[in-house]
Amino acid sequence: MDDTGRAGGSDKRVLRRECLAARSGLTADGVREAGDALALRALELPELAGAGTVAAYVSVGTEPGTGALLEALRGRGTRVLLPALLADNDLDWGVYDGEGSLARVQHGGRMALLEPAGERLGPDAVASADVVLLPGLAVDARGMRLGRGGGSYDRVLARLERAGARPALVVLLYDAEVVAHLPAEAHDRPVQAVVTPSGIRRFRA
């Protein structure tokens, strides 16, 4: 990696700490209210209205809540895929069939995750999605997303590219996490839109 890559990685680590520190000040009520508003906004996306399959995720901690959105999509008859974290940080996928279809899984010393308890469909199942909802910590005016740094969704995006799949990529964030500019590296891929509790913003390809 060249000096630019190292600098970009260092800048990202600083930004991640800042974003996580800001989220740590949120209350449980604030997270829940933001999640309800986020679901209403996301359901306005035409891409979701026409989607047969959506790859989503179960929010944890102070992430923008996805519970209301998952239930709303399921209520529409949308097939919802949720990730299960593998030992190498890649993601397997399973179908969401309500809260009862989730199991709490502890991954080493990390935060426990709610994952699909039923049949695992394999990492390539994400290529069947019409929309992929991505977690993140921030997004900039180009649509470049700042993730947590584990690389799981970098693998997902690379897998989609290899498969020739072109789902709509949408990141779910709080309003203050839409910023002017983020450092980007060669493997980073832009999203098409961000949904926050106050609305939707689209990015040019």
Q: What is the pLDDT of residue 193?
A: 97
Q: Over 60: is that where the pLDDT of 70 sits?
A: yes
User: What digits encode the pLDDT tens for the residues 133-182?
Assistant: 999 999 999 999 999 888 899 999 999 999 999 999 999 999 999 999 99
Domains of the chain: 3-202 (3.40.50.10420)
- Arithmetic mean of pLDDT, 91-97: 97
One-letter-per-residue 3-state SS of 37-81: HHHHHHCCCHHHHCCCEEECCCCCCCCCCCHHHHHHHHHCCCEEE
State residue 188's pLDDT score. 81
pTM score: 0.91
Instruction: Supply the pLDDT for residue 9.
Output: 61
pLDDT of residue 123: 97
Residue 133 CA to residue 152 CA, distance in Å, equals: 13
**What CA–CA distance (Å, rounded) separates 205 from 199?**
20
pLDDT of residue 41 exceeding 90: yes
